[in-house]
Structure 1
Amino acid sequence: MDILNDISDCIIKASTTLSDDKYAALNNAIVMEDNDNACWALNQILENYQIAQKTNFPLCDDTGIPHVIIEIGEEREISGELLNQIHEGIALGLNNLPARPMAVKGGEIQRIEQSEGLFEEPGKLPPASILIDSVNDESTYKRDISPDTLNIHFLLEGGGPEIRSKTFRVYHKRSFENVIDAACGWLESSLQMLGCTPSIPSIGIGRTHFEATSLLLKAIAYGNLNNQSEFEQEITNRLNKTGIGPLGLGGKSTVFGCYLNIGNQRASGVRIVSIRPSCFVEPRVALLKL
């Protein structure tokens, strides 16, 4: 029963708590901003964070879809019991939060049409399919996974960024810059429509749509604004030059930073790029070590 409570606590922590690196990025943005409207918006965002952490209220009314990444070392095992506990613990956490009811009732057609309404219980919302990360996975955000590692990362992904996300093919033309330029071009367009800026956009580049999106999710789980690569800094600078600013009101802080995760590639003229322009309450993540 303890693991269920531990998972529940992780869901609540992810929903209500701001990471240290993001808190520092927000305060730095406030200091650097000279646009009055942007300053007002950033201070409102800061107040929202502080109230959420003090009261254990969600950072946003859209409490998000749970996503799970399991890091596993070669000497550990994942049982069917553990997978069931993850599902049960998430349901418990969503109910204890409490999260916003978002689970749709009915069969396939009814769920698509949302014709039978919603479950009132927040815990009826199941997580997305679980991702497994091992020492064999190659990417920019490759983990140093020891043999006895068993870590469970919980992510809460909101609907607004999902609406503005995209996974698409890019003809690389043997140019890294061409792929990144395409990604930035899409982000410049989507951030204008997001509304909930500043963002921390994430980019995954892989061989398939599934792989590219998996790389993106791992970057969200593992990324840290205090440890940005040269390329992530370049993307951040380019996006901030758009002047979209906090809540679209203009200013210097359209994004706090970004995550770029590049995995294995295949012999092809195409690269698959997945992009998610996270809103200002994300990333909402928590870690459980077993």
Structure 2
Amino acid sequence: MDIIDCISEKIIKASTTLTDDKLKALTNAIEMEENENARWALSQILENYKVAQKTRFPLCDDTGIPHVIVEVGSNREITGELLNQIHEGVALGLDNLPARPMAVKGNAIERIEQSEGLYEKQGMLKTASILIDSSNDESTYKRDVHPDTLNLHFILEGGGPEIRAKTLRVYHKRSFYNVIDTVIDWLSDSLNLLGCTPSIPSIGIGRTHYEANALLLKSIAYGNLDSQSEVEQYVTSKLNETGIGPLGFGGKTTVLGSYVNIGNQRASGVRIVAVRPSCFVEPRVATLKL
């Protein structure tokens, strides 16, 4: 097995293919939607998905910033060679996608200013720092990781949701709902500005800003719309009550579901919350099992 080629194929799959649970959720939303404009928008989104999968074209021309989670069991090892193969495979997969350039040239200041232009090759859009994961946590998405497990999860994060994403502290006041309702209020405003609804918002609640965002990222890799917790159902229900609807047309379907990943907490008056309002082409995820 050529790992680099396999990784490249997974990047293409993540960019062009809809996961089964999201396809089911979208189909159900079309059947239940009573708003004519909203139903039309959802149908067009579904058609876009079908065309992308058939032609292997990206679901969106913003093919996303690549993020990788390495899920490792106790009997497996992560080598420097594997990490290099991940970077090479991701670059190859992005180069094989027809998409607009997004990687910025230049030194540190020039990259901030975007004054030197863009690389033509999509593969120059480097992978974000790789997250190593095991079963050694207490999060909502805690898994029973087999000792021989070595999974590579590839997530493509689009720019629009990142603009609307936020990491913030919330004073819990000894009430879970004070935290989650604060998050819902913020998401309601964010989704109204996003434009690319219906969303599947992701929420990570931890002790630090890093941990909250790591929990959020893991929720995207491990979350499933076919298996929603009571908290996720609550978030989904409240956000759908906003009436924003698909593409802002109104109706019942502002979100298709939610991912809420709650990790370890510390004795403190605050909880650190990371929130990301994914657009309708997300989550774009694919997994390679080695």
TM-score range, shorter chain: over 0.9
| Structure 2 letter corresponding to 1:57 | F
The SS at the match of 2:132 is: strand
Deviation at 1:50, TM superposition (A): 0.5
What's the TM-score, normalizing by structure 2? Answer: 0.99
Give the C-alpha shift of residue 100 in structure 1: 2.7
Moved >6 Å (runs of 4+): none
Q: Distance in 1 between matches of 2:137 and 2:154?
A: 19
Corresponding residue for residue 19 of structure 1: 19
> CA offset at residue 145 of structure 1?
0.5
Match runs of 1:39-54 below 5 Å: 39-54=39-54
Q: What is the alpha-carbon distance in structure 1 between the residues aligned to residue 213 and residue 9 of structure 2?
A: 26
| Paired residues, number | 290
1:55 is aligned to 55
TM, length-normalised to structure 1: 0.99
SS of 2:71 mapped into structure 1: strand
Instruction: State the partner residue of 1:100.
Output: 100
Equivalent in the alignment of 1:66: 66
Q: Secondary structure at the match of 2:151?
A: strand
Which amino acid is the alignment partner of residue 155 of structure 1? I
Residue number in structure 2 paired with 1:128: 128
Write the distance in 1 (CA, Å) between the matches of 2:136 and 2:234.
29
In the alignment, which residue of structure 2 is the partner of 1:254? 254
Aligned partners of 1:237 and 1:135: how far apart in 2?
30
Give the corresponding residue for 2:226.
226
AA aligned opposite 2:284: R
Match of 2:279 in 1: 279
SS at match of 2:287: strand
- Superposition deviation, residue 144 in structure 1: 1.1
1:1-290 alignment, distance < 5 Å: 2-290=2-290
Unaligned runs of 5+ in 1: none
After superposition, what is the alpha-carbon deviation per residue over 1:10-32, rounded to whole angstroms, capped at 9, x for unaligned?
A: 00000000001100111101000
Amino acid at match of 2:117: G
Per-residue CA deviation, residues 160-214 of structure 1 (Å, 9 max, x unaligned), is 0000000000000111010001110100010000000000000000000000000
Q: Helix, strand or coil for the counterpart of 1:260?
A: strand
> 1:106 is paired with a residue of what secondary structure?
coil
Cα RMSD of the aligned pairs, angstroms, is: 0.7
Structure 2 gap ranges (5+)? none
Question: What is the distance in 2 between the residues matched to 1:234 and 1:41?
Answer: 25
> Sequence identity, in percent?
76
